Amino acid sequence: MTLASLSDQLLFAAVVVYALAMLGFAGASASRRAAAVTGVATRERVLVDAGGPSVTAPAPLVTPAAGWAAPAAMVLTVLGWALHLGSVVTRGMAADRLPWGNMYEFSSVAALVAVTGFLVLVLRGRVDRSLGAFVMLPVVLYLGLAGTVLYTAVGPLVPALNSYWIKIHVAAAVTASGAFLLSGVLASLYLLRSRYDERTDVGRAVRFPVSLGRALPAARALDRAAYGVIAFAFPVWTFAIIAGGIWAEAAWGRYWGWDPKETWSFITWVLYAGYLHARATAGWKGRKAAWVAVAAAVALIVDYYVVNIFVVGLHSYA
């Protein structure tokens, strides 16, 4: 078995394991929602004050299914991450270069960054593992598209990319892109949870998909997590744009030419800068800022898929 073939098989295995983890997380979340609706949950008696009357208060919602499904899904996520990392490493060894020289490889590494970010946030207690289903879904779709439509056989870099700047500019871009993918999920979930809280606080009925907010962590925790990821990724994206300009001057004789890729990268930068500015402005905290983060994530998708595939420009080789 060649290294290239091994890389492909490891990626396929990673996608399968990620999909199983997604199902495990979804099963645990569904069990929690069912427990919240029916009241089938572990309950314990607590004392209001020392020596005071005892009352019945809800304990964390735990059902037999949720008890094993969530930990098993986390184990599968870590296993999928290890397989995914092995795929990226063997791809680089097979090509004898850095493994982000085309859209297939870039997508794989960006998804790996997103999963890594999710695992780090869970280990640090910044987000709950119950978000796993919402993170794994776009990752599985992302990798599925990469492994089918965007798949490229192992080969040398195209001449335009054969530069040491690929180690700097593209490395920063792929890191920021993976982090922004994760932040887009977190911002969307914040909007879902805050909408759920708004409707239930006034006694209004909730329907799908707003009802999914019942099993999500507190809106404030999701908001903080999304902000933390964007605060990390934004300076990396800024550096990627600056490094790209320096590379463009060396390759094309100008730092900036409003190429479609450059334009949409700048639009994405402006939106994320607007989000961070909105966070610092009292009137734009909460849902307004989250909508800006979602718009920025959409711009990033346009920048990556639409511009690279459908728009003719100096970056069309990507």
Does residue 60 come out as left (phi exceeding 0), alpha (psi in the -120 to 50 range) or beta? beta
Look at 307 and 49; give whichever has higher pLDDT: 307
> Tell me, what's the pLDDT at 14?
96
pTM of the model: 0.85
CB 177 within 8 Å of CB 252: no
- CA distance to 54, 61, 226, 309, per residue, from 303 (Å): 58, 41, 21, 10
Rounded average pLDDT over 110-128: 93
Task: Report the half-sphere exposure of 43 (CA within 13 A, side-chain side).
Answer: 10
**Could you give phi then psi for residue 56, rounded to 5 degrees?**
-95, 125
> 212-226, 253-267, 275-289 — which is least confidently predicted?
275-289
Q: Where are the alpha helices (DSSP H) in the chain?
A: 3-38, 64-95, 103-123, 132-148, 169-201, 219-252, 260-279, 287-301, 307-310
Q: Out of 93-107, 113-127, 161-175, 203-217, which region has the weakest mean confidence (pLDDT)?
A: 203-217
β-pair partners for 45: 56
The arithmetic mean of pLDDT across residues 115-128, rounded, is: 92
With CA atoms as reference, report the closest residue to 85 among 116, 45, 50.
116
- Name the least confident of 66-70, 107-111, 127-131, 151-155: 66-70
Across the chain, what does the average pLDDT equal? 85
178 vs 81: CA distance, rounded Å: 14
Give residue 126's pLDDT: 87
Positive/negative CA dihedral, 298, 299, 304, 307: positive
- Across 93-108, average pLDDT: 91
Average pLDDT for residues 306-312, to the nearest whole number?
A: 81
Q: Which two tokens stand for residue 248?
A: 């463009």
CA 296 – CA 299 distance, rounded (Å):
5
**Minimum mean pLDDT among 96-100, 250-254, 291-295: which range?**
250-254
Evaluate if residue 46 carries a pLDDT over 70: no
Q: What is the pLDDT of residues 149-197, one digit of tens each?
A: 999 999 888 877 778 888 899 999 999 999 999 999 999 999 999 999 8
Token reading at 134: 């919402």
**What distances in angstroms separate CA 184 from CA 158, 219, 233, 291, 299, one per listed residue?**
31, 15, 12, 10, 11
The answer to whether 45 and 56 are in contact (CB under 8 A) is: yes
With 0-12 CB in 10 A as exposed, 13-18 as middle and 19+ as buried, what is 214?
Answer: buried
